[in-house]
Structure formats: structure tokens, C-alpha cells
């Protein structure tokens, strides 16, 4: 636990912190539910039965993550549907703006778009209590999709090198849209911002650390694009 992380008692003694945790779990829960729906739909575009099988397994794991978050919200006395509702529009607009035209675009979107989101939530987990952090990190675990997607995308580019340029542009578009929607959510949800800026018994972080966090997010994105054989 870092110096900024509050104790579990903060959920009972600091209403602003509790609201922030409910928001964090709410946005994650809707993200996992959305990922389940999207991956299940992507399975219909999969070119082989083995690919369909792999995606079905990933979708099932995403739903298990959703259930864990939903149950934790209930334990906190929050209504899961109400907790997720404020984030529905942002997710839906993101998916509308980044609807893949084929199987490969869907794979790149899942890898780089979801990847940068999970990186951000791991960063935020630094500023929450130990129990909440453990849950956040568990639902941000790689489900085996990284190796699967990298293998499929690199094989496709090797077979048709022209696909690389198209997918690189697509990857940049996906991440740009993801960051745009994330910024809007942060601006609209004051409680979430308190996880970074602090609150009762929580000093928060400074601009220098926020800069370092953004640099880590950018570096991780560049590594993912490189792993796919695409230019960041």
C-alpha cells in the first residue's frame, strides 16, 4: 500500500471516498459487461472454430469479472444498475465511434483500446484501500487475450503486409477515442477525481506524478502497438 492509499475504514467515514469507489467499481462493471457483449459479438466474425472457442472463453471470463464487481457494489449498499448508469453513454459512444469493420479491427480494438483502459484503472488502484485495490487488479488481469490477439494480428500482417498500415491508423483512432471519452467521464464525475487529488486523510498526488502516470500509459500503448507489429 502506498502513502496515498486510505484505510478500509474510509469507506465508512469518508462519504466522498465511498462515492469515488462506487464510481470506480461502477465504470469498471459497465466496462466488463460491455466487453462481454462485444467479445461475444466478435466471435461471430472469427474465421475459425478455434478462434470462436477462444473468444467465447474470453467473453465468459469478462462476465465473471462483471459479477464480482456487481456483487461488491451490493456489499457496499449501492445499486449496481444505478452505479453503472452514469457511464453507459460514454461507453456506447466509444463503441459507436470505433465499430470494427472486420475481425482484425475488432482484435486491435480489444488489445489497444481495452489495454489502455485497464492500465489506467491499475494506476487508479494505487489510491484506493487494499480490498478495493485487490478487486480492481483482479478484474484488470490479462485473460489470455494478449497472446491470442498478437498471434492472430501478426500472422495476418505477415500474410498481407498492406494490412499493417490500415490497422496502425485504426489503433491510433481507437486509443484517441478511448482517451476522449475517459476525459469526459472524469470531468463529469467529481467523485472519481478525488482518488487522484485527495480528500480526508488522503493527500492525493501532484502534477509531476500525474505526468509520470501519463508517460507510463503512453509507453504501454507504444509497446502494445509494437507487439502487434504496428507503428504507434
Residue 203: what pLDDT?
A: 53
How far apart, in whole angstroms, are the C-alpha atoms of residue 232 and residue 108?
12
| Total Cβ atoms within 10 A of residue 153 | 24
Overall number of domains in the chain: 1
- The one-character DSSP state at 125 is G
Here the CATH number for the domain that contains residue 34 is 1.20.1260.10
How far apart, in whole angstroms, are the C-alpha atoms of residue 171 and residue 161?
16
Domain-embedded: residue 5: no
Domain-embedded: residue 4: no
Cβ(29)–Cβ(69) below 8 Å: yes
Which range of residues forms the domain containing residue 153? 10-227
Rounded to 5°, angle at Cα 40 from 39 and 44 = 105
Cell of 54: 477462444
Domain-embedded: residue 232: no
Domain-embedded: residue 68: yes
Q: Of the candidates 190, 108, 200, 199, which has an alpha carbon nearest to the alpha carbon of residue 154?
A: 108
Residue 221: what pLDDT?
A: 92
Cβ(205)–Cβ(144) below 8 Å: no
Residue 197: what pLDDT?
A: 63
Domain-embedded: residue 1: no
pLDDT tens digits in sequence order for the chain, 232 residues long: 445 567 666 777 788 889 989 999 999 999 999 999 988 888 888 889 999 998 899 899 999 999 999 999 999 999 999 999 999 999 999 999 999 999 899 999 999 999 998 998 898 888 889 999 999 999 998 877 789 999 999 999 999 999 999 999 999 999 999 888 887 887 778 777 777 665 545 555 666 777 788 888 889 999 999 999 998 6
Amino acid at each position: 500500500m502506498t502513502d496515498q492509499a486510505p484505510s478500509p475504514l474510509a469507506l465508512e467515514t469518508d462519504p466522498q471516498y465511498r462515492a469515488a469507489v462506487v464510481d470506480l467499481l461502477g465504470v469498471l462493471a459497465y466496462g466488463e459487461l460491455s466487453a462481454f457483449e462485444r467479445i461475444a459479438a466478435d466471435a461471430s466474425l472469427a474465421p475459425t472454430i478455434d478462434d470462436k472457442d477462444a473468444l467465447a472463453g474470453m467473453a465468459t471470463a469478462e462476465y465473471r469479472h462483471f459479477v464480482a464487481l456487481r456483487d461488491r457494489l451490493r456489499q457496499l449498499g449501492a445499486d449496481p444498475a444505478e452505479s453503472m448508469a452514469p457511464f453507459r453513454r460514454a461507453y456506447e459512444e466509444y463503441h459507436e465511434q470505433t465499430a470494427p469493420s472486420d475481425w482484425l479491427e475488432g482484435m486491435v480494438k480489444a488489445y489497444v483500446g481495452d489495454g489502455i483502459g485497464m492500465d489506467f484503472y491499475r494506476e487508479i488502484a494505487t489510491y484506493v484501500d487494499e480490498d478495493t485495490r485487490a478487486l480492481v487488479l483482479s478484474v484488470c488481469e490479462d485473460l489470455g487475450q494478449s497472446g491470442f490477439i498478437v498471434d492472430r494480428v501478426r500472422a495476418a500482417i505477415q500474410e498481407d503486409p498492406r494490412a499493417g498500415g490500415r490497422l496502425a491508423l485504426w489503433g491510433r483512432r481507437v486509443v484517441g477515442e478511448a482517451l476522449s471519452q475517459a476525459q469526459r467521464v472524469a470531468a463529469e464525475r467529481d467523485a472519481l477525481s478525488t482518488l487522484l487529488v485527495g480528500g480526508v486523510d488522503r493527500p492525493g498526488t501532484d502534477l509531476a506524478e500525474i505526468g509520470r502516470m501519463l508517460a507510463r500509459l503512453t509507453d504501454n500503448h507504444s509497446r502494445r502497438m509494437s507487439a502487434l507489429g504496428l507503428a504507434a
